[in-house]
Chains A and B, each alone.
Chain A
Amino acid sequence: MDLKDKLISSFMAFENNVDVEHPVHEVRMAAIKNFEEKGFPSKKEEAWKYTSLNSIQKIDFSIFPKQENTIEYKDVKRYFLHEIDSYKIVFVDGIYSSYLSETTHDGVDICLMSSALTKPMYKPVIDVYFNKIASKDESLTSLNTAFSREGAYIYIPKNKMPKKPIEILHFSTGNEASLMLQPRNLVVVEENAEVQIIERHQSLTSNDILTNAVTEIYADKNAIIDFYKIQNDAANASLIDNTYIDQKDKSVVKVHTFSFGGKMTRNNLNFFQNGEYIDSTMKGITILGEKQHVDHHTLVHHIEPNCESHQDYKGIYGDSSTGVFNGKIIVDKIAQKTNAFQQNNNILISDKASINTKPQLEIFADDVKCSHGCTIGQLDEDALFYLQSRGIPQKEARALLMYAFANNVLTSVRIPELKTRINKLIAKKLGVNLGFDL
């Protein structure tokens, strides 16, 4: 039985465990129908031209974990941003771990999707926001919607700001031979509210893991959201991350994606600017080695006038790794005075590495400033020589130059401890022992 059939038949089993009277159930039914029709995307589709899901579909994934697994905090402490205090929503093999988590209902709701989908008090929010901005057409998003049960639920009411950042962590223990996870997150930030979120998927074994995540983010007027995605997973973990962001007037949303690991990572990051004077930023650092594959697909849809968007993606590709960047900017006819910028710089450091990039603009308004730049190149030999001539060993000198190349992305990270952590990850990935905090 292939993965598609298995998922469809699992849906029936899934139905036995959820409340079929709840209005969300109809959403699930429509979603599984769409997935059944479309199936997994193939390379023939333009959006999946450079990323194949064939090998993944051959793995016999468990759709539901057979048992509840626990892990000790001391074993996973290093995956938390433990230097600072934070709210934590932790899942182990897709199941909420209250032992590792720290949630709150004190003025803001930082809790679970499962309770939001079942408890009546959350129904007004679910009715308004659940599955509204997420694509009803895209098959993998539909697949997630069909199985949506668990994930993080974050609701920040008007003029509120949680006291500390929120960490969302997904651990997989490897107790199953291969496991498919489908977390579903909902983030609603009302007027003048602010939130910082760090998300990480971490496999603790070398077993196959496939995560198909969907996150819906709603930023109301003047809301500020910082979302950091850390993707430094084990060698057999694959991630398909679909993020949909709806922004209203004067909101500012920044998404940073740090891709350093995993077998296959696909990021679908979609911004919809439903208001004026909006600022959307998406930045990413990708450093890959071995046979890793990362595919960044971004979409910014400028629907209303006077908005801005900034994209800055840097990639360093070694060994036999492959990278894809596909950035799409759509400017609607009425979205005059739009400023949309896109930058994608890549360095290939190995003969077998390859990069495919497609920065795409679709512009229907005339009074706009849109630009994209894309480069593929190497490290500057002269700069390397300069550093070496001053006594810095070649490896470190190369690492320094690569760090400098990617550094621009880090300037907008607003949690200093997170920045230090990312610096350490970069140093580790580049195989040097440097602090980079120069």
Chain B
Amino acid sequence: MAYTEEELKKELETKEYEYGFYTDIESETFPNGLSEEIVIAISKKKEEPEWMTLWRLEAFKYWKEMVEPEWANVHYTKPDFQAISYYSAPKKADPNKTLDDVDPELLEMYKKLGISVDEQKKLQNVAVDIVMDSVSVATTFKKTLAEKGIIFCSISEAIKEHPELVKKYIGSVVPKRDNFYAALNSAVFSDGSFCYIPKGVRCPMELSTYFRINQAGTGQFERTLVIADEDSYVSYLEGCTAPSRDENQLHAAVVELIALDGAEIKYSTVQNWFPGGKDGKGGVYNFVTKRALCEKNAKVSWTQVETGSAVTWKYPSCILKGDNSIGEFYSIAVTNNYQQADTGTKMVHIGKNTKSTIISKGISAGKSQNSYRGLVQVNSRAEGARNFSQCDSLLMGNECGAHTFPYIEAKNKSAMIEHEATTSKIGEDQIFYCNQRGIDTEKAIALIVNGFSKEVLNKLPMEFAVEAQKLLEISLEGSVG
């Protein structure tokens, strides 16, 4: 292309958020505000059993006593919790109908996003449990999964059909009073995904959920619970896009993973919530609690590509409780314009010979602030614990910031912990080298960024890797002048 960098920069600055359209679907929305009545109403609406209602109310009680955390390295106007509607469901949603019955307008919207349900169904071999404004509207491949004994459904369905599993595990990894947003989620979660892999079963396909925030002014409170029974394996994908909005939208999800003895869970996220305009207006607040519990010989690996959200506050963690368990965290966080991200992981070594790996790549451009905050904790009984952490930051332009706050706590002498972090910009000599070989600067940067994030991209499942790579390019193009 012949156009200059200046032109490209201009084009990209004026470029609207690609997925910033709004589909007009009639929604059934609760009045704004939060009270015990609303919590009960949500529970009633979802036809939940009594124990669940009580569980929610208890969480609400804790939440009222808690204060919003302020330690994160982000600055934003605090959401007004009384100005949010806590429930919104597309009116026509009916979990029993087939794909053909789904509102054509909805399907059209997914098509625009390139995640057409039937396309997914036929071509991708991916079961998609689409969550749109809090209620699952289509679940596919249920049959194939059911044959193997795998349960993959919405959490509200699971509460009704598999109460024994939900009752046993919900809140076992992220307790109700864990933190402010987890408590809020526990009280008002509208829907989410539930997944159970039976003993010794290897899930034949990648399970995937697409989240969307659609209705203006509605917070989305997803609850995900994945249970991998002994010696099973599952790979779970989560991807997000959200339409442009001027007011901030709150997203406070809770994800709980339970990997029993010898199980393996691979949890991948591509997060592309609306990051706010280039003047820093609007955008999604993403305050998520994600945590995994690893029993003996279990393995959990978190992979995430974060390009969206105005404010991100997210620490997918692993509690390595069982001996020989393994926790992994691979992350790319890209921030541009006025985005702020405070993300990282916690690895808590409790069992013997537990291992953890942390690879975090932060890329900041524009006026954004990107922080890595991590904790590696080796308890006194965790003989032979091993950790390797690496967090690298790439800075583009002199108005952004990159920060690292790694906490390392070792209480066992046999622990081996390594941590390294670097911060740098894209080397002029690297760009020069590419230019010299006929690669223009913009392409050279894409190439270098790709190389920088390769270690993490490689960990993503095929379908996601392509999407993620594309996202990276969109998020960063033109940010280097």
Answer yes or no: are A and B bound together in one complex.
yes
Interface residues, chain A, with chain B CB atoms under 8 Å away: 46, 333-334, 336, 346, 348-378
Residue of A whose beta carbon sits closest to that of B381: A351
Q: Is the CB of B408 within 8 A of A374?
A: yes
Knowing A348-B413, A374-B420, A377-B417 are in contact, say whether A359-B380 is a contact too (CB < 8 A): no
Q: Which residues of A contact B402 (CB under 8 A)?
A: 361, 363
1/0 contact string of B383-409 vs chain A (CB within 8 Å): 000000000010111111111111111
Q: Which residues of B contact A362 (CB under 8 A)?
A: 401, 403
Q: Is the CB of B413 within 8 A of A378?
A: yes
Q: Is residue B71 within 8 Å, beta carbon to beta carbon, of the partner chain? A: yes
Q: Which residues of A contact B71 (CB under 8 A)?
A: 46
Residue of A whose beta carbon sits closest to that of B374: A358
Q: Is the CB of A353 within 8 A of B424?
A: no
Residue of A whose beta carbon sits closest to that of B378: A376
Q: Is residue B410 within 8 Å, beta carbon to beta carbon, of the partner chain? A: yes
Q: Is residue B415 within 8 Å, beta carbon to beta carbon, of the partner chain? A: yes
Q: Which residues of B contact A336 (CB under 8 A)?
A: 398
Q: Is the CB of A374 within 8 A of B418?
A: yes
Q: Is residue B113 within 8 Å, beta carbon to beta carbon, of the partner chain? A: no
Knowing A354-B409, A360-B404, A365-B398 are in contact, say whether A373-B415 is a contact too (CB < 8 A): no
Q: Is the CB of A348 within 8 A of B410?
A: yes
Residue of A whose beta carbon sits closest to that of B407: A358
Q: Is the CB of A350 within 8 A of B398?
A: no
Q: Is the CB of B398 within 8 A of A351?
A: no
1/0 contact string of B139-180 vs chain A (CB within 8 Å): 000000000000000000000000000000000000000000
Knowing A363-B393, A366-B398, A371-B422 are in contact, say whether A376-B405 is a contact too (CB < 8 A): no
Knowing A354-B409, A356-B408, A374-B408 are in contact, say whether A363-B401 is a contact too (CB < 8 A): yes
1/0 contact string of B362-383 vs chain A (CB within 8 Å): 0000000000000000101000
Knowing A358-B407, A361-B404, A365-B398 are in contact, say whether A370-B424 is a contact too (CB < 8 A): yes
Whole-angstrom distance from the CB of A288 to the nearest CB of chain B? 13
**Can you list 24 pairs linking A and B with CB atoms under 8 Å apart?**
A336-B398, A350-B413, A354-B409, A354-B411, A355-B409, A356-B408, A357-B407, A357-B409, A358-B407, A360-B405, A361-B393, A363-B402, A366-B397, A366-B400, A367-B398, A371-B422, A371-B423, A372-B419, A372-B421, A373-B420, A374-B418, A374-B420, A375-B417, A376-B410
Q: State in angstroms the CA–CA spacing of A349 and B396 once bound together.
A: 43
- Cβ-neighbour of A373 out of B378, B405, B419, B423 (below 8 A): B419
Select the residue from B399, B410, B417 with max chain A CB neighbours within 10 A. Answer: B410
The A-contacting residues of B in range 297-351, CB under 8 angstroms, are none
Residue of B whose beta carbon sits closest to that of A348: B413
Q: State in angstroms the CA–CA spacing of A75 and B132 once bound together.
A: 81
Whole-angstrom distance from the CB of B429 to the nearest CB of chain A? 13
Q: Is the CB of A370 within 8 A of B420?
A: no
Q: Which residues of B contact A372 (CB under 8 A)?
A: 404, 419-421
Q: State in angstroms the CA–CA spacing of A356 and B425 once bound together.
A: 30
Whole-angstrom distance from the CB of B476 to the nearest CB of chain A? 14
Q: Is the CB of B406 within 8 A of A360?
A: yes
Q: Which residues of A contact B405 (CB under 8 A)?
A: 358, 360
Q: Is the CB of B404 within 8 A of A375?
A: no
Q: State in angstroms the CA–CA spacing of A375 and B418 once bound together.
A: 4
Q: Is the CB of B410 within 8 A of A355?
A: yes
Q: Is residue B412 within 8 Å, beta carbon to beta carbon, of the partner chain? A: yes
Knowing A348-B413, A351-B413, A354-B411 are in contact, say whether A366-B396 is a contact too (CB < 8 A): yes
Q: Is the CB of B401 within 8 A of A376?
A: no
Q: Which range holds the interface residue count of chain B?
A: 35 or more
Q: Which residues of B contact A353 (CB under 8 A)?
A: 413
Q: Is the CB of B398 within 8 A of A333?
A: yes
Q: Which residues of B contact A368 (CB under 8 A)?
A: 395, 423-425
Q: State in angstroms the CA–CA spacing of A360 and B400 once bound together.
A: 17
Whole-angstrom distance from the CB of A363 to the nearest CB of chain B? 5
Q: State in angstroms the CA–CA spacing of A346 and B408 once bound together.
A: 11
Q: Is the CB of B412 within 8 A of A363?
A: no
Q: Is residue B416 within 8 Å, beta carbon to beta carbon, of the partner chain? A: yes
Q: State in angstroms the CA–CA spacing of A374 and B402 once bound together.
A: 18
Q: Which residues of A contact B419 (CB under 8 A)?
A: 359, 372-375
Q: Which residues of B contact A373 (CB under 8 A)?
A: 418-421
Q: Which residues of A contact B413 (CB under 8 A)?
A: 348-351, 353, 378
Q: Which residues of A contact B27 (CB under 8 A)?
A: none
Q: Which residues of A contact B400 (CB under 8 A)?
A: 364, 366
Residue of B whose beta carbon sits closest to that of A340: B423
Q: State in angstroms the CA–CA spacing of A432 and B407 once bound together.
A: 34
Q: State in angstroms the CA–CA spacing of A364 and B400 once bound together.
A: 6
Q: State in angstroms the CA–CA spacing of A40 and B367 once bound together.
A: 37
Q: 18 other contacts beyond A366-B395, A370-B424, with CB at 8 A cut-off?
A: A348-B410, A352-B380, A355-B409, A356-B410, A357-B408, A358-B408, A362-B403, A363-B403, A367-B398, A368-B395, A368-B425, A369-B424, A370-B422, A371-B420, A372-B420, A374-B408, A374-B418, A378-B416
Select the residue from A354, A357, A366 with max chain B CB neighbours within 10 A. Answer: A366
Whole-angstrom distance from the CB of B362 to the nearest CB of chain A? 10
Select the residue from A346, A353, A368, A374 with max chain B CB neighbours within 10 A. Answer: A374
Q: Is residue B29 within 8 Å, beta carbon to beta carbon, of the partner chain? A: no
Q: Is residue B235 within 8 Å, beta carbon to beta carbon, of the partner chain? A: no
Going nearest first, the 4 A-B pairs with the smallest beta carbon separation are A366-B395, A348-B413, A376-B417, A374-B419
Residue of A whose beta carbon sits closest to that of B375: A358
Q: State in angstroms the CA–CA spacing of A361 and B407 once bound together.
A: 12
